[in-house]
Amino acid sequence: MVELNMLKNLAGSAVAGALGGYNAHASNIVSAIFIATGQDPAQNVESSHCITMMEAVNDGRDLHVSVTMPSIEVSFTWSLLDKLLFKYFKEKKKEKI
């Protein structure tokens, strides 16, 4: 797995001219999370940039996998923002009384 990661994700992505990361196709996972949480799935292009690293540990008996995703974009929906603002101003109004 470590060698496959080096060949496919790191070297293969570099040869292909990948911009923003060397990954194992994180966009499907990011899109699924965005859809499930009400985010805009069109933002998965920028948010799917990641670097997948693998390292054999414990004399090769275990595999340590790390994924760094430096540019996940999230946003508030207007309805959530409205609720937060309404709650904030309602509490401010109580403080004045």
pLDDT, one tens digit per residue, over 32-91 is 888 888 888 888 877 777 888 889 999 989 999 888 887 778 776 667 677 777 778 877
Residue 51, φ and ψ in degrees, nearest 5: -120, 120
CATH number of 2-96: 3.90.770.10
From residue 20, give the alpha-carbon distance in Å to each of 37, 51, 77.
24, 9, 27
- pLDDT tier, 22 (very low <50, low <70, confident <90, very high otherwise): low
pLDDT at 17 over 90: no
What is the domain partition of the chain in residue ranges?
2-96
- pLDDT tier, 92 (very low <50, low <70, confident <90, very high otherwise): confident
pLDDT at 29 over 70: yes
